[in-house]
Structure 1
């Protein structure tokens, strides 16, 4: 019954909304096409950017990969999973790294649009308690986390995802990555689509305004079908809550879980329907684009004249009322709103400048220490991805997250500042990448002309040149952002106050529009343009006055640097510099294993954030292990031979950290428990048959038998253990190495980890396990629990330990 109810509700509501939306979209599509062609013919635009723009910065890259614990709703268990984040910022989960390297389909693929990344159960339960069933849920009983460091992806309608990591350090890294995935997925409307994108955004805004919803909307995120699904759920969700909520049975936790499953199922159904119907709508509009384009170009002058005539009539109606609202309700607050926006935003852009400066200084230091072009290639390869490194950019993003519109939100009906925070962070990332890309092109040009002589001075000159251009561009971008943010806050408020008196008067203006032009000139759009023009002057003056204040680091509008560096913009036509190949990067960058032939014609995809979990190796303190990059992970053909062993390790890990002790199955095993054999290593010169020796823990023991072992055999075993430990030293903690006893007869060691060949990636994730270790020096083997180093000749000794309380044999 629930399935039938939710299916009928979702299909009916989606069908009704898409019918209403399609009518508005068809009108706005023609208006957007008119505006696009008019802009193309008349020209214009803002100031020219001083920095260069990279066309495809993430080509051939992945963002992140590593292992963490994932909670599975099916069996309510935590499972270790390998996570991969490709350059589309989708979160993919796999059973193991081997499954990922074999290009198997991910177990779960998460599109993060509309999600929030949380780091505590308290935050999560606060959001959960605001959703049906209407009762408080105890966070101690709802879900038990595997560790103290959870990572939760929360969505108002879709399924939630629960992860855990081992340390707080890893939690911060993963949280930064998840936030970057959300930030990128939310900003999924292409700005270069000058017709479809404005037509869609205007249609959504007009549709919500028709329902009485003015102001910003937090769920305006993702692709158009996702935004339309959120639009459906905005009204469908409360209805489902009222119908289905009271019918849920069981304990509170179970009712909460069942409601989440129902909500997710409905959201998926709605998204499937909006995806197909929106695609059909766009296809139908695009099919008419050719004839519309021809008609617009033929009658453009007449259409513009007709629009100006209507605008003057509507302006006479609207301006007196708009000016009164402007004087009394808006002008007194413009400076307060602008100040609230400018302080954190300016700090964020200043932090972008500082991070770029520090990273370039680090490149200069490394070049000064030697290494020549090879070192430059390695450093620049890392620097090129700085803007897309979530953790290195986190300090910049955090500055903007301090943006607070408290006190102004209710007055101007702003749901939350998250819309402005997200937009500012996207602009910051773009400016960082523009600065890095410009620096790359300038440095490459200088190195091609004069070589690597006096590298530090060359880097310094390029850095100074880029910083000047960044200061100008960041000022221009911020001023544009402030103007747009003020319009987003003020215009909906004015429309809400003017519509009751002006909207009934608008239909009579339709009679003044020629029928042939009525497709491109709509009185509703002209009304909004008039309202915008009425407040634009005050906003422009407020931003201009703010630019005079030095503390905001804004250039005055009178300072124009258009075409100040024409030679630089010629470099923008050059392809992106491949530093690793051109300047002698690591050999593994261009190597392709035989297992990858046919799938990749170039080198393996590189990771922006160079962290990864090595499969099958227990790491007690770190959930992710730092390695120089994906290229150093063993190729698939090498791992294929070890896949059985890795699968066995994975099965053993699923059983838990250790199995319960088993009962003895034979008389000999029982005898061994009573009279245990203790093996020790003593110098060969020791002459001992029976008597007492003192163990390393200070307890005297009776010796009943001594067996000599061939020295060369034991020496070979020790040497073998040394070689294995040298391979494993990169992944094991130093104190774990100290606990390995050289007296174990089989000399087994942990599986070898992938080493970094003595180099460290500039990713900000220096692994503590590798500090102080030199791959070129063998590590000493320690014996005994105390960990001291002893040079010994091995002898195997069998002894019965004498209990200190009465000589009782164990």
Structure 2
């Protein structure tokens, strides 16, 4: 691998990469410094003049993922170095970066990870065919076939691939389809979070960066949306450099690669990753230096703005009027002929999947809140309520539960716009809408938590179910209003992102040559805050905004989209609600919702509560499990986990005699008899019908060795058969047959005992004095004739009932039985202890047997 990179990336090519990166960063730096002053002017002006956004009904919390992790588990990864598949433990924390460890134990011990994957710019794939198509396109080989075999073979039929156009690819696989779907949802969530754009909390740096990037690409002739605006500033700039550098290197290096197609694909992927890492290192360093220069200059610019704000605003309005007078006729003519006819169709294409997605969010929210109400109705204790609220608190960040909402947005189709309006792909709008869905779900859940917590404060739990129902109704109404507001804002922004670049591309050739002359109207002291290029774009934006607003208002009238009209003003009905906290409520700590969670110390620092639960593969041996559960993880149940829990409840261990679930597992043996029963297991068979036993044979598992067999027979008093309407009662006939079988079984047992006691007692003592494990047998205190010990397998309801134990007639076969239990009819119980370890007179035993048999026959 190293030879391929060093051979094709020699010192000359590395110097070319460094020079190209520096050139791009220098050009971008000039735009950034200009836009930084403009962004600072807009920020200070907004601060002075004020401006209110639409008041939201739902609350927002700042750090919802505090002390939380998304997912973790084990799967198989393909290692480029060894060209082999190895088991790896993956951990996805609150940053959505994927950390790879050698094993789960290495993660628990706090060891350094083998690597970290930042998913910005990646695509999560589950099909090898789709991956091959992308790989062949990236190589640009006309001879490549779409059905060509890849350079690696997946050991299972459930692959997971992280693909990037420039960086290294990552290959994983799992054992089941359910695992694949869950991991794919987690990977998609990581990509979605990383591609969400820059932080909006930076009121100056973020708009300055985005505007500078847009103007730089427009200067190069790229006006449309850009898929690779992913990750942080350094990653975005690296993608900007690779956008032009990558094709050039491919034309230089790919023709020189040797070997088969698969080998050339592999080599080019490694070379591209090495180039991307070199570019990223340079862009990170140079952007930090650029940002530092602007931050140092900020206090001086801020002081100048606040001193001359009125004059700057007046100068800008004067220049804006002149520019609008020049370009407005051209803009209006373009809007009438090329924009207005297509606004409604574009809006309809956006609204259909978006409305379905937000409606699905509401349905999931409603079903989860109803589930909380049902559980509270069954158990209204504060502890149970805390447990349910703790599970629902992370609903918005559960990739699997939210997948149905995200999937609705995947149906967005802008195929007709990709050529007309220079829309590269709809992924920009899809991911933005999905992030808004997650935010609205989290806001709704957080508001519900705050309302419930406020209602519980100082109140009893008697009307808890009614309180939760009222909170649920209020939250759903607030969600309907906020989701309508968020969707309308998303539609306006999406239309602007589609239409404005198209209009600028059409107007720039005719309008751009006339703009420099307006610079003469701007005072030199104000020239850093007023740029004619920005004023021209604002004029284009204002001209088309009116048509976009009207289109969205008309769409709000259609009830199928579930949008509120702008004229419908809803005031905040909960005046005190916004005074509540913004942090996540610790339901486990306040109401004792989650049990078994250790607070503080090493355990709290090492293990965070995991949002997505693990997968158990039933029947799979431990070395081949691809997902192992972290102890103590109990969060939001999966789509079938509630039902699975009931199934597990119904599949408790069953008593083989009484066929009832064992409530308590047998503990460690305390007595000698219990130890003996563990060494020599006793198999008890319920014999209600003699037809259940065929030829006296029992079905045993392979490898099981049974030392004693105890047959328990249900006995009933002997009665003569009765006639019903001239015919014998079938129940009485069956009982008569059972009694006859019991008598024959007792006679057979007596014969076997007589054969056994005729043997030499000395031999019995020598043979039976030592048990199978070589331990000397001792008489237990509890081994009285009336005491029956079956090592915990006897039902408590039958503790005082001893039943007759018939033995099958085996002919000449010698029975090696230590104890025979004979249960007498009508409560008469007698036990004959044949244990040779307690010597007794054989004649007395024979007499007791004969007496017992006579009583049974009577």
Fold-level match, TM-score > 0.5? yes
How do residues 294-313 of structure 1 correspond to structure 2 at under 5 angstroms? 294-313=303-322
Aligned to 1:2: 8
Aligned match for 1:607, one of 606, 610, 615: 610
Kindly report which structure 2 residues correspond to 1:51-130, keeping only aligned pairs within 5 A, or say none: 51-130=58-137
Please report how far the alpha carbon of residue 717 of structure 1 lies from its aligned counterpart in structure 2 after TM superposition: 4.5
Q: Distance in 2 between matches of 1:210 and 1:568?
A: 48
Change (3 A) 1:264 1:445: same
8 Å contact from structure 1 (residues 349, 474) kept in 2: yes
> Which residue does 1:715 correspond to in 2?
677
The aligned residue for residue 278 of structure 2 is 269
Change (3 A) 1:254 1:320: same
Aligned partners of 1:326 and 1:219: how far apart in 2?
Answer: 29
Counterpart contact for 2:390–2:594, Cα < 8 Å: no
Question: Do the aligned partners of 2:413 and 2:426 also contact (CA within 8 Å) in 1?
Answer: yes
Task: Return the match for 2:569 from 553, 560, 563.
Answer: 560
Q: What aligned pairs does 1:266-415 form with structure 2 within 5 A after superposition?
A: 266-370=275-379, 372-415=381-424
Please state whether the residue corresponding to 1:265 is helix, strand or coil. helix
Deviations 1:666-707 (A, max 9, x none): xxxxxxxxxxxxxxxxxxxxxxxxxxxxxxxxxxxxxxxxxx
Q: Cα–Cα, structure 1 residues 390 and 336, in superposed 2: closer, same or farther, change >3 Å?
A: same
**Equivalent residue in structure 2 for 1:20, among 24, 27, 38:** 27
- 1:308-328 Cα deviation digits (max 9, x unpaired): 000001101111111111111
Question: Retained in 2: the 8 A contact 1:604–1:631?
Answer: no
Q: Which residue of 2 aligns with 1:473?
A: 482
CA contact (8 A) 2:89 2:100 kept: yes
Residue 588 of structure 1 deviates from its aligned partner by 2.1
Secondary structure of the corresponding residue to residue 404 of structure 2: helix
Q: Secondary structure at the match of 1:142?
A: coil
3-state DSSP of counterpart to 1:198: helix
Greater shift after overlay, 573-582 or 505-514?
Answer: 573-582
Alignment of 1:40-59 (within 5 A): 40-59=47-66
Q: 1:589 to 1:779 in 2, by over 3 A?
A: farther
Change in CA separation of 1:417 and 1:575 when aligned onto 2, cut-off 3 Å: closer
Q: Distance in 2 between matches of 1:283 and 1:719?
A: 78
Q: Distance in 1 between matches of 2:815 and 2:418?
A: 78
Residues in 1 aligned to 2:149 and 2:104: alpha-carbon distance in whole angstroms: 32
Q: Once the two structures are superposed, what CA deviation does each residue of 1:143-198 show, in whole Å capped at 9, x if it has no partner?
A: 21110010100000000001111111111111000000000011141011110000
Measure how far apart 1:604 and its partner are: 3.8
Corresponding position: 1:508 with 2:508: no
C-alpha separation in 2, matches of 1:624 and 1:188: 32
Q: Any idea what the Cα deviations from partners look like across 1:343-388, whole Å, max 9, x if unmatched?
A: 0001101111110111111111111222611111111111000000
From the superposition, tell whether residues 591 and 39 of structure 1 become closer, same or farther in structure 2 (CA, over 3 Å): closer
User: How far did 1:625 drift?
Assistant: 4.6
Q: Given that residues 65 and 83 in structure 1 are in contact (C-alpha distance below 8 angstroms), is that contact kept between their aligned partners in structure 2?
A: yes
- Conserved 8 A contact 1:544-1:557: yes
Distance, in Å, in 2 between the alignment partners of 1:739 and 1:19 is 77
Structure 1's 14 and 627: CA in aligned 2 closer, same or farther, altered over 3 A? closer
Cα distance in 2 between the residues matched to 1:143 and 1:739 = 43
1:583 pairs, out of 570, 582, 591, with 591
Q: Structure 1's 539 and 249: CA in aligned 2 closer, same or farther, altered over 3 A? A: same
Q: What does 1:202-213 align with in structure 2 at a 5 Å threshold?
A: 202-213=211-222
Contact 1:28 1:203 in 2 (8 A): yes
| Contact 1:91 1:110 (C-alpha < 8 Å) held by counterparts | yes
For 1:456 and 1:3, the matched residues in 2 are separated by 68
Helix, strand or coil at the partner of 2:457: helix
Rounded to whole Å, the distance in 2 between the matches of 1:534 and 1:540 is 11
Task: Report the more deviating stretch, 372-381 or 17-26.
Answer: 372-381
Question: Residue 225 of structure 1 contacts residue 271 of structure 1 at CA under 8 Å; is this kept in 2?
Answer: yes
- Paired residue for 1:461, among 461, 470, 476? 470
Query: Which whole-Å CA distance do the structure 1 matches of 2:582 and 2:115 have between them?
Result: 39
Whole-angstrom CA distance in 2 between matches of 1:794 and 1:618? 40
TM-aligned CA distance change 1:289 to 1:31, over 3 Å:
same
Equivalence map 1:631-650=2 (5 Å): none
Task: Answer whether contact 1:116 1:154 (CA < 8 A) is retained.
Answer: yes
Partner of 1:447: 456
Unaligned runs of 5+ in 1: 633-709, 721-737, 746-776, 781-790, 797-810
Q: Secondary structure at the match of 2:515?
A: helix
Deviation at 1:232, TM superposition (A): 0.3
CA spacing shift, 1:391–1:410, aligned 2, 3 Å:
same
Give the CA deviation at 1:245. Answer: 0.6
Match of 2:182 in 1: 173
* Separation in structure 1 between the aligned mates of residue 77 and residue 793 of structure 2, nearest angstrom: 38
The verdict on how the C-alpha distance between 1:622 and 1:543 changes in structure 2, with shifts beyond 3 A counting, is farther
The CA deviation at 1:741 is 4.2
Aligned partner of 2:251 in structure 1 is 242
The answer to whether the Cα contact below 8 Å between 1:387 and 1:393 also exists between their aligned partners in 2 is yes
1: distance between equivalents of 2:316 and 2:417? 35
1:442-467, Cα deviation, whole Å (9 max, x unpaired):
00111113232222211110000001
Post-superposition offset of 1:46: 2.1
* In 1: Cα distance, 2:251 partner to 2:681 partner: 73
TM-fit CA distance, 1:631: 7.9
Question: How far apart, CA to CA, are the structure 1 residues paired with 2:680 and 2:532?
Answer: 88
What is the deviation of 1:109? 0.7
Superposition deviation, residue 215 in structure 1: 0.7
- Relative to structure 1, the CA distance from residue 629 to residue 185 in structure 2 (aligned partners, 3 Å threshold; closer, same or farther) is farther
Indicate the SS of the match to 2:9.
helix
**CA shift at 1:586, angstroms?**
3.3
Return the alpha-carbon distance in structure 1 between the equivalents of residues 149 and 815 of structure 2.
54
Contact in 2 for aligned 1:65/1:612 (Cα 8 Å): no
CA drift of 1:401 comes to 0.9
Q: Does 1:425 align with 2:419?
A: no
CA contact (8 A) 1:581 1:590 kept: no
Using CA pairs under 8 Å that are at least 6 residues apart, name the structure with larger relative contact order, 1 or 2. 1
Deviation (angstroms), 1:618: 2.8
Cα 1:184–1:629 change in 2 (3 A) is farther
Between the aligned partners of 1:226 and 1:512, the Cα distance in structure 2 is 39
* Structure 2 residue matching 1:414: 3-state secondary structure: coil
Report the alpha carbon displacement of residue 619 of structure 1 after superposing the two structures with TM: 4.9
Distance in 2 separating the partners of 1:530 and 1:520: 17
Q: 1:713: how far off?
A: 6.7
What secondary structure, in the 3-state scheme, does the structure 2 residue paired with 1:81 have?
strand
Alpha-carbon deviation of 1:541?
A: 0.4
Corresponding residue for residue 742 of structure 1 = 704
Cα separation, partners in 2 of 1:108 and 1:301, compared to 1, 3 Å: same
Name the counterpart of 2:627: 624
Distance in 2, Cα, partners of 1:79 & 1:386: 33
Deviation string, structure 1 residues 772-802 (Cα, Å, up to 9, x no partner): xxxxx9999xxxxxxxxxx999999xxxxxx
Normalising by structure 2, report the TM-score: 0.73
Q: 1:794 to 1:263 in 2, by over 3 A?
A: farther
Contact 1:71/1:77, CA 8 A, preserved across alignment: yes
For the pair 1:489 / 2:489, whether they are aligned, the reply is: no
Contact 1:116 1:155 in 2 (8 A): yes
Question: Normalising to structure 1: TM-score of the pair?
Answer: 0.77
Could you say what the CA RMSD is over the residues aligned between the two structures, in angstroms?
A: 2.8
Q: Does 1:153 align with 2:162?
A: yes
